[in-house]
């Protein structure tokens, strides 16, 4: 079995459009059910297709912790048309990964999220133009300062691309902060971190400092700056829209899970 973190890192390196194409190229199963619903079960809520419970790829009963997430996952199944396409089912994929992989490799995944905090996108600042510098300062500084206060330290800010290490004590505090999460919430946290490039933004979303739209905007400061200056092509817009569906699914789990 391939290392789960290796798979996560490979997926993070791919743009979501590429990941969707890879999924769609596989031979997709035909929709075989009329109705998808969620139902109470021991340990949470199961997803039923015409009354039969859905299992994960690892053959365990797929369970969601509450009715809100159960209904949302059931809605993904109900939205499938002639074929069942996992590319359009981000909640289901995160839940499957949480049960089959994160639950047994929790420490590895938590360590991987913490590594992002040691090289966080919010700590790397442009030195020009001034409008970009000011936008980064306005949207990012409050998050970096809040995270430092929460974790009992101060994050180092870097202009340019030369790496500067963050305090090991600070990173240990971050790691301790996420140690009590459930596998499902940790899988969602990893997804947000990978999509935004920022463990600090993921933490701010988890701790309800920022809402999902504010986090999304903060994560795309440089991209939006370039769009304002040069415009946006259709392919980039499609990729961003796909990323947003992944992000929204993870954010829903962090809010409701």
Tell which residue, 161, 126, 143, has the closest CA to residue 198. 143
Residues spanned by CATH 3.30.2180.10 within the chain? 4-102
The Cα–Cα gap between 110 and 113 comes to 5
- Secondary structure class of 46 (helix, strand, coil): strand
Q: What is the mean pLDDT of residues 171-190?
A: 98
> Per residue in 113-155, pLDDT tens?
999 999 999 999 999 999 999 999 999 999 999 999 999 999 9
Which residue is it, tokens 């409050």? 142
Contact 135, 122 (CB under 8 A): no
Predicted local confidence at residue 84, as pLDDT: 92
Would the pLDDT of 39 be above 50? yes
Q: How confident is the model at residue 25 (pLDDT cuts 50, 70, 90)?
A: low
Q: How confident is the model at residue 13 (pLDDT cuts 50, 70, 90)?
A: very low
Residues spanned by CATH 1.10.3580.10 within the chain? 106-256
- pTM confidence score: 0.89
> Per residue in 60-103, pLDDT tens?
999 999 999 999 999 999 999 999 999 899 999 999 999 999 99
What CATH fold (topology level) applies to the domain 106-256? ATP12-like fold (1.10.3580)
Mean pLDDT (the chain, rounded): 91
Tell which residue, 188, 219, 214, 34, has the closest CA to residue 113. 188
**Architecture of the domain whose range is 4-102:** 2-Layer Sandwich (3.30)
Q: What is the mean pLDDT of residues 218-238?
A: 93
Would the pLDDT of 14 be above 60? no
């Amino acid at each position: 079995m391939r290392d789960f973190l290796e798979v996560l890192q490979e997926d993070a390196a791919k743009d979501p459009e590429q990941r969707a194409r890879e999924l769609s190229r596989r031979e997709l199963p035909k929709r075989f059910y009329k109705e998808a619903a969620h139902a109470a079960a021991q340990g949470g809520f199961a997803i039923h297709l015409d009354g039969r419970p859905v299992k994960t790829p690892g053959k365990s009963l797929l369970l969601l912790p509450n009715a809100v997430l159960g209904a949302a996952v059931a809605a993904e199944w109900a939205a499938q048309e002639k074929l069942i396409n996992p590319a359009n089912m981000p909640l289901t994929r995160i839940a499957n990964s949480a049960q089959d992989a994160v639950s047994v490799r929790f420490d590895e995944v938590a360590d991987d999220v913490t590594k992002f905090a040691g090289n966080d996108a919010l700590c790397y600042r442009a030195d020009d133009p001034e409008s970009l510098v000011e936008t980064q300062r306005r949207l990012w500084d409050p998050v970096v300062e809040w995270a430092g206060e929460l974790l009992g330290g101060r994050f180092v800010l870097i202009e340019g691309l030369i790496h500067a290490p963050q305090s090991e004590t600070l990173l240990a505090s971050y790691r301790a902060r996420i140690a009590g999460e459930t596998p499902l919430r940790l899988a969602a946290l990893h997804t947000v971190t990978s999509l935004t490039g920022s463990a600090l933004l993921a933490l701010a979303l988890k701790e309800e400092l920022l809402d999902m739209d504010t986090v999304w905007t903060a994560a795309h400061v440089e991209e939006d700056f370039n769009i304002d200056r040069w415009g946006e092509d259709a392919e980039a817009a499609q990729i961003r829209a796909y990323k947003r569906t992944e992000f929204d699914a993870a954010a829903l789990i962090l809010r409701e899970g």
